[in-house]
Structure formats: structure tokens, C-alpha cells
Amino acid sequence: MTTGERLTQLDLSTISLAMDIAHATVWCSMTTVDAKGRPRSRIVHPVWVLEDDTVTGWLTTRRTPVKSAHLAANQFVSLAYIAQSTGFAYFDCRAEWVEDAAGKANCWNAFLEAPDPARYDPANIWPDGPRSDTFEALRFTPYRVQAARAEQIARGERAGLVRLG
């Protein structure tokens, strides 16, 4: 698939499955790469939005020195959701810090509007809202999404795969 092409029904089905698994699993492993090419994983809680054939992931966070250095050296991340009872979903993405107030508000609202159990109110951590001094947002733009339910894999079926952009 190239930029500007519409997603097929199969693509949309795979992306919807990946989002369902992600939102049901809630927590995932985010892997970044340092300036020397070494991977580092951490547990994070992103949410996903599909709007007009565009998939966007959001993460409420703080700018830690390690995360900042890794993303400055390499803006690509891998987000892996693995749950025995539901299956797996992988989102390989370009990550970027959100600098503008409108973008930070979009991130904030994505968490308020996410389906349970992924939904939470970021005000529990940042009572001053998205303009809080320590509130940061990361936007994930996937270039590859892969997903399958556990029972599909058990039957020997292939996982769904969508390449974006």
C-alpha cells in the first residue's frame, strides 16, 4: 500500500483486530533503539484511533532522558501486545513528540474516549490537564500493523498484516 491509497476491507479488518487486542490488553512493550543500535523495551499504555483510513496511536508520558535520547537518535519504535487469551498485535511506528497544545489535547481526549479497559482519565496523573508542565504526548504513526487471535494461530492460520505508507 502506498501513501494516498484507501485501505481495503481486509486491511481495515486487520487494523480493527489489532486495535481491539491492544485496547483489551491495555499494556504493551515499546521498544526503542539507542544511538548505538541497541534495543530497549519498556511497558507503556497507548491508545489507538482510526479516522478516515488513518491509524494514530497516542501515549501520555513524561520526557525521560533515555526515551528522549532514543527517539532523537531513531524515531522508530515497535509496540507489541501479547495476551494468551486474546492473541497478539504489533504496531511498528514512527514516534514523534507532540509539541502543540492542540495535539496534546487530542492525545488527552483519545484516552478519555478510548474503550474500556484502555480508557483512563489522565487528570489522575496530571491534575492541571494537558498544559501541565510534566505532561508530554507521543504520537505513533504506524507503517506496519500485524495481528491475530490466539485461536487463528492455533489453527495454523496466518496473521493479518498491513503495510502503511
Has residue 1 got a pLDDT over 70? no
**What confidence tens digit (pLDDT) does each residue in 42-91 have?**
999 999 999 988 999 999 999 999 999 999 999 999 999 998 788 999 99
Q: What percent of the chain has pLDDT over 90?
A: 89
Residue 86 pLDDT: 80
Domains annotated for the chain, with CATH where assigned, are 9-163 (2.30.110.10)
pLDDT score recorded for residue 113: 98
Give Cα 11 to chain centroid, integer Å.
17
Give burial (CB, 10 Å; 0-12/13-18/19+) of 102.
Answer: exposed
Give the mean pLDDT of 139-151: 96
